Amino acid sequence: MRRLASLPVPLALSATLTAQTPTPARPAAILIAAGRVIDGRADAPQASVGILVEGERIRAVGALAQVQGQAQGARVVDLSRLTVLPGLIDTHTHLLLQGDPTAESYERQLLQQSTAYRAILGARNARIALEHGFTALRDLETEGAMYADVDIKRAVANAEIPGPRIFASTRAMAPTGMYPIVSPNWELELPHGVQPVDGVDQARLAVREQVAHGADWIKYYSDRRYYFGPPPDSVLRSWVNFTDDEAKAIVEEAHRLGRRVAAHAIGSDGIAAALRAGVNTIEHGDGFTDSLLDVVAARGVYWVPTVTVAQYVAGPRGGVWAPMLAAQKRAFQHALKKGVKVVLGTDVGGFPWTELNQAKEFEYYVQYGMTPMQAIKSGTSLAAELLGQSDDLGAVAPGMYADLVAVSGDPLKDITELQRVKFVMKGGMIYLTP
């Protein structure tokens, strides 16, 4: 696998240098000759497809012979032996975090790394995500790095660095003393992984501050302290962080300002509280019960399970985290039966960006009961729907952004092919070629 060397400034020299010369690097028109296309919406692939790209967007998609007639003078990219898909979308990431399986690893980053250093690593992580085929991310808080996610987003948008389209949530929120770092030494004021918020007025103010500083989404932590209730049900329970009035104030103010809300909610108590508040997405959701799944299915609330991180941290954290895996898998399987909108999100940053490919999440979804096509849609068209970007992202169709990836094999037969992306295009610019 190599970066494209035929651009005016080779990516092999520096992706940043390439990003600084976007106009000459993007030809007027590109015709992609695809062997197969999984378009993110249809239930079956198409063979021998032409995709005509003009500028940042797709102009035409159809039978190769037909599209060739519209592509006079276009540069041809031969992907006739590959399967082309929409750019992948991860709806739960942490660009500013480098793995936190233990409290010690988390505190080391907040205490020993400056925000500037963490932002440099975040820029590297954005590039890794793009090279893995993820052309869009919803980054769900900076873990104490203030608004650095917005800075990375701006640098990508301004073509200063290569990276996915970023939907930022900035600082997130939790009440005082309910999110790390919390020290028994009351004489020390240690860094906070979130913006501490207490009371309805502070909740509304925090939403306004975060939106003013560039938040596309608002995130809050609905719960903590997870435990299993008594048999026979043995439901995964949790301690709820915010009062109902506080949580509703966060959601109402965010919605008033045109922002959607994500809630970290692992136990059934935290999930129920988040649903009472009216959130748009539930993150993690290991403790979903059948009755709570019925609620999200009826309301169209999205569930982002983040299976990869759950698998990664279970061993190092021990205790309740290992049996939580079985609860999550059971909830996932019940959610599929009930028609819940399950969307791909990995929580990368909770595991190191340099250690695992985010696309591992697709593999878990298939293991847990999705068909490969369902899994692909969860990380393309359905993820775009969650973001409110269905007119621009998540599908191979005319008018959409030319965000495309390709793999050598057939991901409908082997979903792990998505962990071996060979070609990446974002906004009509090619970042990776076979």
- Residue 108 sits at φ, ψ, to 5 deg, of -60, -40
pLDDT at position 27 is 59
Section 299-326 average pLDDT = 97
pLDDT at position 9 is 32
Q: Identify whether the C-beta of residue 343 lies closer than 8 Å to the C-beta of residue 382.
A: yes
Q: Identify whether the C-beta of residue 174 lies closer than 8 Å to the C-beta of residue 220.
A: yes
- Rounded CA gap, 171 and 147, in Å? 7
Number of residues assigned to the chain = 434
- How many beta carbons lie within 10 A of that of residue 137, not counting itself? 34
pLDDT at position 26 is 57
Could you tell me the pTM of the whole model? 0.94
Section 249-261 average pLDDT = 98
CATH architecture of 88-358: Alpha-Beta Barrel (3.20)
Tens-place pLDDT, residues 339-380: 999 999 999 999 999 999 999 999 999 999 999 999 999 999
Tens-place pLDDT, residues 164-212: 999 999 999 999 999 999 989 999 999 999 999 999 999 999 999 999 9
User: Is residue 299's pLDDT more than 70?
Assistant: yes
Residue with tokens 């500013």: 96
**Could you tell me which CATH number the domain at 15-87+395-432 has?**
2.30.40.10
User: Is residue 399's pLDDT more than 60?
Assistant: yes
pLDDT at position 13 is 29
Residue among 38, 28, 44, 179 at smallest CA distance from 100: 179
- CATH 2.30.40.10 maps onto the chain at 15-87+395-432
User: Is residue 8's pLDDT more than 60?
Assistant: no
User: Is residue 11's pLDDT more than 60?
Assistant: no
Q: How confident is the model at residue 328 (pLDDT cuts 50, 70, 90)?
A: very high
Mean pLDDT, the chain, whole residue set: 94
User: Is residue 12's pLDDT more than 50?
Assistant: no
Give the 3-state secondary structure percentages of the chain, helix then strand then coil, rounded to 5.
35, 25, 40
- Rounded CA gap, 235 and 224, in Å? 15
- Rounded CA gap, 34 and 300, in Å? 34
Q: Identify whether the C-beta of residue 160 lies closer than 8 Å to the C-beta of residue 123.
A: no
Question: Strand, coil or helix: what is 239?
Answer: strand
Report the range of poorest mean pLDDT among 23-37, 71-85, 151-165, 233-247: 23-37
Q: Identify whether the C-beta of residue 183 lies closer than 8 Å to the C-beta of residue 232.
A: no
- Rounded CA gap, 360 and 350, in Å? 14
- CATH 3.20.20.140 maps onto the chain at 88-358
